[in-house]
Amino acid sequence: MNGHDVGRRRLWAHVALGVLLVLIGERLLRAGFAASAGDSAFAALDGAASPVVGLLIGIVATALIQSSTVVTTTVVTLVATGLPMDVAIAAVIGANIGTTVTGHVVALTFCINRTRLAPAFAVSSTHSLFNLGLAAVLIPLEWTTGLLNRTAGYLAPAFSGFGWQPATLDVLGVATRTLSHLTRAGFASMGLPPGLVGVFQALTGGACLILGLAYATHLLKQAFVGRADTTLASVLGRSAPRGMLHGALITAALRSSSAVTSLLVMGAAGGVTDARRAYAFIIGANLGTTLSALLGALAFSGLDAELAARVAIVHAMFNGLGALIALLMLATSTTGRWAFAPATAGIWLGRQAARCPTCAVLAIPILFCGVPYILLTVFN
């Protein structure tokens, strides 16, 4: 082994360290938001009386907690305890929209460098625009025909009744929970109020996220020198179906589409990918995140199992139809103009964010939290 290979392996080890710091930061940030706002968000969801309210709470809860997996799994549990099915389906669709906030948060950490902000915000916007467009198409269809709910009703018996909780090893989750327990114990020993634990975790997670992003993106360009095209082609996929498959598998392994999107945003900021290349991978990440809800539904038995499976199947069908629509558009488009519409619009938004970073920083909380909250006060 020559010195060049040793140096490259050492470089990749440092990149992996930065990525690990990003993932830990993302988990801590999520845990901090969940500890601070999770209980009130889920209490509001449990009392939701209409699908519109469920949709809005799903958006806000996921934006605050930073995890569609947590929200969707909680919705599955609430359905088993009496949450109306139409409200649950709306909340799951809302969670699909709210989960895109994480990518924007990561992208906005590059505000001080407008050259990096533009491609990073373009990738995060591509994710948001695709999920918003999918919701705009499927929500009216579901509310007028009940297609997803009825189809899931036919399929649910085949997926329910196992009463089985799959054993999975989530190393990052174990590390985050351990740090949470240690933080609570430390705060209790110092006589500090428990409510500060979530704030401390969120601040610590944000610091880890920013440091990890700065460290990893600085090294990514060096790591990809001379082999960027071939490496990206193998990871993101040389075709849309392969890119979606890779995105789904990696997201299922990490159990978080937010983490995968964050890594894509980081890669775009480092100049090793862009919105069009990442488009199919992002859609695959949407598919991969449905696995946790499907596995969670297997833990129930009896009538509760069928209800839980129904919600999980709706989640999978929603994202599966999105992938199918995207594949059909890619296959039938001759120029790719409409097939890549979310990516094209995302690139434009990235340029606008680079021109006015302050506008982008203000727009995200207003659009994903402020507007839904105002609508909640109207509809609820």
Average pLDDT over residues 310-324: 89
- Tell me, what's the pLDDT at 45? 60
- Tell me, what's the pLDDT at 169? 45
Residue 296 banded pLDDT, cuts 50, 70, 90: low
CA–CA separation, 262 and 268 (whole Å): 10
pLDDT: which is higher, 25 or 352: 352
Element (H, E) at 315: helix 303-332
CA–CA separation, 170 and 173 (whole Å): 5
pLDDT: which is higher, 251 or 348: 348
How many domains does the chain contain in total? 1
- Tell me, what's the pLDDT at 179? 67
**pLDDT tens-digit readout, 232-241:** 555 555 677 8
- Tell me, what's the pLDDT at 84? 82
Average pLDDT over residues 123-131: 94
Residue 3 banded pLDDT, cuts 50, 70, 90: low
How many other β-carbons are positioned within 10 Å of the β-carbon of residue 378?
A: 8
- Tell me, what's the pLDDT at 308? 75
Residue 368 has pLDDT above 80, yes or no: yes
Work out the mean pLDDT of the chain and round it to a whole number: 76
For 359-374, letters b (16+ CB in 10 Å) and e give ebeebbeebbbeebee
pLDDT: which is higher, 162 or 80: 80
Residue 126 banded pLDDT, cuts 50, 70, 90: very high
Task: Quote the domain boundaries for residue 80.
Answer: 3-379
CA–CA separation, 352 and 346 (whole Å): 10
- Tell me, what's the pLDDT at 264? 87
- Tell me, what's the pLDDT at 350? 95
- Tell me, what's the pLDDT at 118? 94
Residue 160 has pLDDT above 80, yes or no: no
- Tell me, what's the pLDDT at 112? 87
CA–CA separation, 266 and 258 (whole Å): 12
Residue 72 has pLDDT above 50, yes or no: yes
CA–CA separation, 19 and 224 (whole Å): 15
Give the highest mean pLDDT range of 98-112, 160-174, 253-267.
98-112
pLDDT > 90 in the chain, percent = 16
Average pLDDT over residues 132-150: 90
Write down the pTM of the prediction.
Answer: 0.75
- Tell me, what's the pLDDT at 226? 46
Residue 337 has pLDDT above 70, yes or no: no
Residue 307 banded pLDDT, cuts 50, 70, 90: confident
- Tell me, what's the pLDDT at 174? 61
Residue 303 banded pLDDT, cuts 50, 70, 90: low
Element (H, E) at 256: none
Q: Are 340 and 125 in contact (CB under 8 A)?
A: no
- Tell me, what's the pLDDT at 167? 46
CA–CA separation, 264 and 107 (whole Å): 10
- Tell me, what's the pLDDT at 131? 93
pLDDT: which is higher, 117 or 186: 117
Average pLDDT over residues 247-258: 78
Tokens encoding 69: 């997996």
CA–CA separation, 212 and 79 (whole Å): 38
pLDDT: which is higher, 369 or 208: 369
